[in-house]
Structure 1
């Protein structure tokens, strides 16, 4: 855990805005160019620190924005071989029109560049497909300039469906809902380490189900509220404020686990307050992806359902691991079919204190990193 404590190198999807009009196909990418230039397999990792060639990424990250802008067009040769864009069955060779890498970004944070690509297409074309390369991670593809535009989510190696150039390819309510469930789940597992640790902190309070239900219900209600408000743009809080507070919430819950073995009356209220912060964090992710305007509500609900599935998966895995530990303790004591209730409580308490201490240390590291680094 300590090795992946920093989220500054978390892999985020590329955002692709596609426009085909007046004999031109234009694809504007919001992209982490250093990750692509280093050859990291973005399909396999959630954090660039965990890649085999992480040192190559770090070396590129230390280069100036001008040097990265100069290297970006080198990626196009392989992409045009796919090809990246095909209109009416004809490959469209793309050229680099402009590359803008942000300046003055903290060296520990990724630089999301805007890369504008364009190519000539025949007049009167009717449809386009986009192929996203293997190893490129996820891409959110958004059609621009038409009514009822297509919006899709491509993993590395996937090809979009045929997109009508005149529009009308907008997802149905059910399609939008289903599409955004895995996006929400993915933000918890494997990419949401801070949210995972917070949920584990809730789980480690007690062996009883009722305290867990109270806490998870409060957390879910709270983050659903601020996720919706943030996604609609009604509430906006800078990440520089939200992210340190999320880290602080992890520390608080973990430390309270160490000093308390039961649910206090005010803990659900505190968890609700922390849930509001986490919801703002989820909303910032949706802000990066963008929600389809015509299917905003089902996409938002789908994302939230995916988040809930991710949280329940974390709790389920933790519960299975605790059960296995109890089984091992029972076998070691040779007490037949059942280990004494008191001994189960002692074992869980030991796991709770140890796990909470680790969680608190990681959370404290994040607080310092997000405030001062």
Structure 2
């Protein structure tokens, strides 16, 4: 199963665009609301299902996406504005039992940061509210993918924090009051961040999945895997915490290529030096520091809960660990249980898998550095 995933990834063309969650800021007044959404405009207009596709090249609508991407930002902004009446059918806003009809105030598209990254489009919506004082909820169709929702509240009492949530595809927000903000319990906040950490690995973190698989294929014995996973976990926990606290900040343009190279390195070492050494553990620890910076990027988008900062950080890390455990467990029962004792296991399973993982890592490094 995992080898199929790797082969599919290797077969992707050069202009892959990995989708990230939309980000929405909503401000609710007594009689109206305004929402600003940063979204993947070309993917939505092209009809790509963002609930199941994280890379545009894996969609049957990839050609339509590429044609839209070739338009200038101004030209695509006009296309997005023209398509919005249809797209807005998938946007669900309601106040109590009243369905709201948001008006498109503005649609714009930014210049691309690089050809390998999707452009960011922004829509600003406004909607009138009924005069019953009812709470407001927001969500959109699953095909538009996940969205990070942040409530903007002016003059919050000291000790309170504005509501923010990571909404999975098709998920509705908690009801948001017109004054003040949503009361979130510590337990609910903890569970939300566990889920956020888990989904950052499965299904979205293909680079992290391949790195963990690189560790898995190093040896069929449990002890070398345990040592490596422990070194990796300790390291990414350190940098995740430091980056979340603002102590460390490294640009994604540096972190992402190095993460790709880390994938290639462990794969090559699986082939050339399949014996656990202190150097291997040091290298895994070093790469764990890089991956922690990568994990921190998603937390930078949604932000850690100030009221439950430490608990949220721990919860996110637990979610990441659960995702890694799920990868290793699935690989073990899919591969090692059936073939681990065979004399040809290394020659026919480990080496080919490591070659594919290494090639994928090298390709990503080239793509992120040059293309």
The separation in 2 between residues aligned to 1:104 and 1:162, in whole angstroms, is 35
The separation in 2 between residues aligned to 1:75 and 1:182, in whole angstroms, is 33
Highest CA radius of gyration, 1 or 2? 1
The separation in 2 between residues aligned to 1:125 and 1:282, in whole angstroms, is 39
The separation in 2 between residues aligned to 1:78 and 1:118, in whole angstroms, is 17
The separation in 2 between residues aligned to 1:82 and 1:201, in whole angstroms, is 40
Range with greater deviation from structure 2 (236-245 or 86-95)? 86-95
Q: TM-score, normalised by structure 2?
A: 0.89
Query: What is the CA distance between 1:200 and its match in structure 2?
Result: 0.9
The separation in 1 between residues aligned to 2:16 and 2:252, in whole angstroms, is 12
Change (3 A) 1:3 1:58: farther
Give 1:331's aligned residue: none
The separation in 1 between residues aligned to 2:37 and 2:75, in whole angstroms, is 18
Conserved in 2, the CA contact under 8 Å of 1:137 and 1:155?
Answer: yes
Q: TM-score, normalised by structure 1?
A: 0.89
Conserved in 2, the CA contact under 8 Å of 1:76 and 1:95?
Answer: no
Give 1:332's aligned residue: none
Q: 2:283 aligns with which of 242, 255, 270?
A: 270
- How well do the aligned residues superpose, as a CA RMSD in angstroms? 2.2
Range with greater deviation from structure 2 (4-13 or 229-238)? 4-13
In structure 2, the gaps of 5 or more residues are 1-5
Give 1:336's aligned residue: none
Deviations 1:27-81 (A, max 9, x none): 1111111111111111122222111211111111111111221122345434655
Q: 1:369 aligns with which of 358, 362, 367?
A: 367
The separation in 1 between residues aligned to 2:144 and 2:37, in whole angstroms, is 13
Aligned length: 358
Give 1:195's aligned residue: 208
In structure 1, the gaps of 5 or more residues are 328-338
Deviations 1:233-289 (A, max 9, x none): 221101111111111111111111111222012211111000000010111122223
Give 1:235's aligned residue: 248
The separation in 1 between residues aligned to 2:362 and 2:312, in whole angstroms, is 34
Q: Which runs of 4+ in 1 moved over 4 A?
A: 5-8, 78-83
Give 1:205's aligned residue: 218
